[in-house]
Amino acid sequence: MIFYSTRSRQHTADATEAVLKGIAPDGGLYTPVDFDQMQVDVGALLNKSAVEISAEVIGKILNDFTPEEMRALIDAAYAGKFETEDLTPVEKVGEDFVIELFRGPTSAFKDVALSVLPRLITAAKAKLGVEDEIVILTATSGDTGKAALEGFHDVEGTRIIVFYPDGGVSDVQKAQMVTQAGGNVGVCAVKGNFDDAQTGVKNIFADDQRSHWAATAGARLSSANSINIGRLAPQVAYYFKSYCDLVLRGEIRLGDPVNFIVPTGNFGDILAGEFARRMGLPVAKLVCASNANKVLTDFINTGVYDRRREFYKTASPSMDILVSSNLERYLFLASGGDFELVARLMADLREKGVYTAPQSLMDAMRERFSAGCADDARALDAIGRVWRAYGYLMDTHTAVGWAVMEEFKAREDNGWVNIVLSTASPYKFSRDVLSAISDAQPESGFGAMDMLHETTGVPVPARLAELRSLETRFADCVEKDAMLGYVKGMISGNREQE
Binding residues for ligand PLP, rule: CB under 6 A, are 108-110, 143, 226, 263-269, 318-319, 397, 423-424
Q: Distance between CA atoms of 435 and 467, rounded to whole angstroms?
A: 22
If you ran DSSP here, which 8-state letter would residue 336 be given? Answer: T
To ligand PLP, the closest distance from the beta carbon of 270 in angstroms equals 6
Nearer to ligand PLP, 31 or 318 (CB): 318
Smallest gap from residue 420 Cβ to ligand PLP (A): 12
**In the complex with ligand PLP, which residue's Cβ is closer, 16 or 297?**
297
- Among candidates 403, 405, 390, which has minimal Cα distance to 456? 390
Asked whether the CA dihedral 357, 358, 360, 361 is positive or negative, the reply is negative
Query: Shortest gap between Cβ of 114 and ligand PLP (angstroms)?
Result: 11
Separation between Cα atoms, residue 31 and residue 18, nearest integer Å: 9
The Cα–Cα gap between 443 and 404 comes to 31
* Rounded-to-integer distance, Cα 186 and Cα 312, Å: 27
- In the complex with ligand PLP, which residue's Cβ is closer, 228 or 423? 423
> Within 10 A of 410 (CB to CB), how many other CB atoms are there?
8
Of the pair 143, 328, the CB lying nearest ligand PLP is at 143
Q: Which is nearer to ligand PLP, 108 or 137 (CB)?
A: 108
Q: In the bound complex, what is the minimum distance in angstroms from residue 189's beta carbon to ligand PLP? A: 18
Question: CB of 107: closest distance to ligand PLP in angstroms?
Answer: 9
Residue 71 C-beta: closest distance to ligand PLP, Å: 26
Position 34: which residue type? D
Q: Please, which residue, 178 or 214, has the CB nearer to ligand PLP? A: 178
Beta strand 418-422 with 304-306 is: unpaired
Q: Are 268 and 226 in contact (CB under 8 A)?
A: yes
Nearer to ligand PLP, 27 or 265 (CB): 265
* Cα gap 303→207, rounded to integer Å: 32
Q: What letter does residue 316 receive in the DSSP assignment?
A: -
CB of 427 within 8 A of CB of 170? no
CB of residue 135 vs ligand PLP: minimum separation in angstroms?
A: 22
Distance CA 272, CA 342 (A): 19
Containing 260, the helix (H) or strand (E) segment is strand 258-263
Cβ proximity to ligand PLP: between 230 and 268 the closer is: 268
- When the beta carbons of 45 and 424 are compared against ligand PLP, the nearer one is 424
Question: What secondary structure letter does DSSP report for 45?
Answer: G
**CA gap 100, 423 in Å, rounded:** 7
In the complex, least distance from residue 433 CB atom to ligand PLP, rounded to whole angstroms:
12
Handedness of CA 242, 248, 252, 256 (dihedral sign): positive
State the nearest-atom distance from the C-beta of 438 to ligand PLP, in Å.
Answer: 22
Residue whose CB is less far from ligand PLP, 114 or 134: 114
Nearest-approach distance from CB 436 to ligand PLP, in angstroms: 16
> Residue 368: how many CA atoms within 13 Å on its side-chain side?
18
CB 306 within 8 A of CB 295: yes
- DSSP three-state, residue 361: helix
